[in-house]
Amino acid sequence: GESVGLHLPTLSVQEGDNSIINCAYSNSASDYFIWYKQESGKGPQFIIDIRSNMDKRQGQRVTVLLNKTVKHLSLQIAATQPGDSAVYFCAEMPGGKLIFGQGTELSVKP
Amino acid sequence: GAGVSQSPSNKVTEKGKDVELRCDPISGHTALYWYRQRLGQGLEFLIYFQGNSAPDKSGLPSDRFSAERTGESVSTLTIQRTQQEDSAVYLCASSWTDNQPQHFGDGTRLSIL
């Protein structure tokens, strides 16, 4: 069936370093992608989105890259801070509902 | 506070009982979604309401699960004859319309004894 998967289940980085979280998606019809951050006991929080007519989109300290050829998404976090520690999910939207991956846990070491 | 609100935040009930979970979406959002999240896992789509269109129920795991939404406001997710495998966090999200960012509530943590 349809799936969105993450290459790494856990990622540990030093405070101040850049983080890269990767994601593969399987549905070629998906035209909208979202990255969410989820802290313990909270609902997912929207970080950044990108539509299929773009390859790159930047926000505050975050950049999303989309490679439609290989169906790959990445989230780059610049100057990672302890407050960035959370589980990060990518999600694709092939029409209406979101399909989530399993998540990557980002741990930031002080 | 104009975010998505869910109640109760926690619910503990005995196997076989019915439960009702409530979601208040962000005012003006026409689309509303329910998801289930098991411990340590991603979100599993359950059901989606968009305006006055028929809901997309394709993610409901069994006929024990149902949901309603009145207009573009409150939604309730009902689970009948609960089973232990229903234990999870149930998350609600809303968006201006479909194909727009979904904004989530903090969920209802459901525990079935």
* pLDDT tops 70 at residue A8: no
* pLDDT tops 80 at residue A3: no
Percent of chain B whose pLDDT exceeds 70:
99
Per-residue pLDDT, averaged over A39-44, amounts to 93
Residue B16 confidence class, pLDDT cut points 50, 70, 90: very high
Residue type, B14: E
pLDDT tens digit string along B70-109? 888 899 999 999 999 999 999 999 999 888 899 999 999 9
What are the chain A neighbours of B59 within 8 Å (beta carbons)?
Answer: 97
Distance of residue A24 Cα from the nearest chain B Cα, in angstroms = 14
Q: What is the dihedral of CA B65, B69, B74, B79, to 10 degrees?
A: -10
For chain B, what is the mean pLDDT? 94
pLDDT tens digit string along B33-74? 999 999 878 899 999 999 888 999 999 999 999 999 988 889
* pLDDT tops 90 at residue A94: no
Contact A97 B103 (CB under 8 A): no
Integer CA distances (angstroms), B79 to A5, A92, A107, B33, B90, in order: 29, 27, 36, 16, 11
